[in-house]
């Protein structure tokens, strides 16, 4: 940096001093400005806007909305059934069928057993009071019209059409549908099969085949056993209003009779078989105390019977080496059988309709149908695709033989809806068995006419 600095100089000036004649030197101060260059530190202040991050700590209250997942309220499906009433079947249905569904859907199924009559009475009250608490019912096919006609159950036609993996057997359409609309989904179908204790095999008539037996051979077999053992070994249900009407009815169909038919020409030919067994004392001694033939067969009090395939299956599967199983015997018209089935339906006004639909979709899957049929003794799973899931177990054999009878036999449903009281119809034939066959008398035309008059008098 350059600066101007004043400098004091002394200039020597020569002056002649007068009088002396000699020059005199005089110092005269002179001020002179001299430019001097020198580095001087300079402080410079420059103003510039610079972004500055300032962190300020301050305690504040912040309201935070927290999302907490609250489990939805579990729904309870009320399922009331006339099917699976034996304790063993109930236990299987609850543990092996219901529980997996409950776990998958986070729901509870309230499983109740109730007979058809009380179930219908309850439904009527619920509809009249507009307080429907039952979601699904399981009804016998003979009682289905009593639910369909007053519109107590939902139309399931469109629902069934949406299921492409299952086809319900058409055998039962006359009961499960009306005017082409489906109201019930069939479950637990049954026919009648022959079951023999192997101790009876030595008495088998010559040329007879358990898998292709006639009713005349069956009677001869029963007579031979009674003569050889000193007591009858044939089981029918002697307790009133049980299965005797179906045991006789299937045999009558094989002779060309109708059902229930007690006095036609074909029916009289059918009575001849039971006449022969009764005269020979072929029925077990305690027959009037028999509710179903499972216990007498398992206790070996009885060696021979034709009865409900699921009950026959229960006995057979308990020890297949001890029993021989076959189709029901044939008559001149073929193999006759009473074919029954139950059906699922959703009650009109159910508050759990969507859950009920999910349960029915689950229950009617082909694999579940087979699991349920096998676990409850050997019912026929009435879904065509279910047959593919059958194996070689004893219960599978029961089901296969039952399907053979259903597909090739002469089957009749139970026309209970045509009568005022089906239990009273049963009694018409129960009485004939007790007062005629059991005491060793033959059924006369007069006695058969009286039984038919009893039946016809109960028509609606």
pLDDT digits (tens, 9 = 90+) for 27-68: 444 444 444 444 444 444 444 454 544 444 445 444 544 444
% of the chain residues with pLDDT over 70: 84
What SS3 class is residue 113? strand
Residue 408 domain-assigned (yes or no)? no
Residue 54 domain-assigned (yes or no)? no
Q: pLDDT tens, 448-459? A: 999 999 999 999
Q: Is the domain of 107 the same as that of 153? A: yes
pLDDT of residue 74: 73
Final residue of a domain: which of 374, 402, 430? 402
Residue 71 domain-assigned (yes or no)? no
Question: Domains in the chain: how many in total?
Answer: 3
Q: Is the domain of 440 the same as that of 311? A: yes
**pLDDT: which is higher, 22 or 112:** 112
Residue 200 CB burial class (10 angstroms; 0-12, 13-18, ≥19): buried
Sheet holding 108-113, edge to edge: 108-113, 76-81, 136-140, 340-346, 185-190
In angstroms, rounded to a whole number, what is the distance separating the alpha carbons of residues 458 and 460? 6
Q: pLDDT tens, 249-295? A: 999 999 999 999 999 999 999 999 999 999 999 999 999 999 999 99
Residue 122 domain-assigned (yes or no)? yes
CB 178 within 8 A of CB 148: yes
Q: Is the domain of 179 the same as that of 208? A: no
Q: pLDDT tens, 291-314? A: 999 999 999 999 999 999 999 999
Q: Is the domain of 241 the same as that of 280? A: yes
Q: Is the domain of 171 the same as that of 304? A: no
> Is the pLDDT reported for residue 105 higher than 70?
yes
% of the chain residues with pLDDT over 90: 80
Cα–Cα distance list, 108 to 79, 98, 104, 122, 334 (Å): 10, 9, 11, 21, 47
Q: On the CB side of 312, how many CA atoms lie within 13 Å of its CA?
A: 32
Q: Is the domain of 281 the same as that of 421? A: yes
> Band of the pLDDT at 70, cuts 50, 70, 90?
very low
Q: Is the domain of 219 the same as that of 335? A: yes
CATH value at residue 267:
3.40.190.10
Domain with 317 in it: 192-339+413-456
Q: Is the domain of 221 the same as that of 314? A: yes
Q: Is the domain of 374 the same as that of 281? A: no
Mean pLDDT of 120-136: 97
Residue 162 domain-assigned (yes or no)? yes
Q: Is the domain of 125 the same as that of 155? A: yes
Return the residue matching tokens 């060309």: 256
Phi, psi for 62 (deg, rounded to 5) = -115, 130
Residue 51 domain-assigned (yes or no)? no
Residue 297 domain-assigned (yes or no)? yes
Q: Is the domain of 215 the same as that of 309? A: yes
Q: Is the domain of 151 the same as that of 298? A: no
In angstroms, rounded to a whole number, what is the distance separating the alpha carbons of residues 168 and 72? 35
Residue 388 domain-assigned (yes or no)? yes
């Amino acid at each position: 940096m350059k600066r101007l600095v004043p400098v004091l100089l002394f200039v020597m000036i020569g002056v002649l001093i007068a009088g002396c004649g000699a020059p005199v030197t005089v110092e005269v101060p002179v001020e002179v400005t001299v430019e001097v260059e020198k580095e001087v530190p300079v402080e410079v202040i420059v103003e510039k806007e610079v972004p500055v991050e300032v962190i300020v700590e301050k305690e504040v209250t912040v309201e935070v909305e927290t999302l907490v997942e609250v489990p939805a309220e579990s729904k309870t499906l009320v399922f009331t059934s006339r099917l699976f009433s034996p304790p063993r079947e109930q236990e299987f249905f609850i543990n092996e069928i219901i529980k997996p569904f409950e776990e998958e859907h986070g729901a509870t199924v309230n499983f109740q057993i109730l007979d058809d009559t009380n179930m219908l009475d309850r439904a009527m009250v619920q509809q009249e009071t507009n307080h429907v608490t039952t979601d699904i019912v399981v009804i016998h096919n003979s009682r289905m019209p009593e639910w369909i006609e007053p519109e107590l159950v939902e139309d399931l036609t469109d629902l069934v059409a949406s299921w492409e993996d299952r086809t319900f057997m058409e055998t039962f359409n006359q009961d499960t549908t009306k005017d082409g609309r489906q109201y019930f989904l069939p479950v637990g179908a049954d026919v009648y099969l022959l079951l023999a204790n192997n101790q009876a095999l030595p008495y088998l008539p010559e040329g007879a085949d358990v898998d292709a037996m006639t009713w005349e051979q069956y009677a001869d077999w029963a007579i031979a056993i009674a003569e050889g053992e000193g007591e009858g070994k044939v089981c029918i249900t002697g307790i009133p209003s049980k299965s005797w009407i179906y045991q006789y009815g299937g045999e009558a169909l094989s002779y060309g009779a109708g059902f229930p038919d007690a006095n036609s020409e074909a029916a009289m030919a059918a009575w001849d078989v039971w006449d022969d067994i009764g005269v020979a004392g072929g029925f077990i001694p305690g027959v009037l105390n028999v509710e179903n033939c499972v216990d007498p067969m398992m206790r070996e009090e009885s060696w021979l019977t034709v009865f409900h395939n699921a009950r026959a299956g229960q006995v057979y599967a308990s020890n297949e080496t001890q029993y021989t199983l076959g189709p029901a015997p044939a008559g001149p018209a073929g193999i006759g059988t009473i074919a029954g089935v139950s059906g699922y339906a959703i009650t009109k006004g159910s508050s759990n309709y969507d859950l009920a639909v999910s349960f029915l979709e689950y229950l009617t899957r082909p694999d579940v149908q087979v699991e349920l049929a096998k676990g409850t003794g050997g019912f026929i799973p009435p879904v065509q695709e279910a047959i593919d899931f059958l194996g070689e177990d004893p219960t599978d054999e029961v089901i296969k033989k039952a399907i053979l009878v259903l597909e090739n036999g002469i089957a009749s449903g139970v026309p209970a809806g045509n009568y005022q009281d089906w239990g009273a119809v049963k009694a018409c034939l129960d009485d004939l068995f007790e007062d005629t066959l059991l005491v060793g008398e033959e059924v006369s035309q007069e006695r058969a006419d009286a039984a038919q008059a009893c039946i016809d008098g109960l028509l609606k």
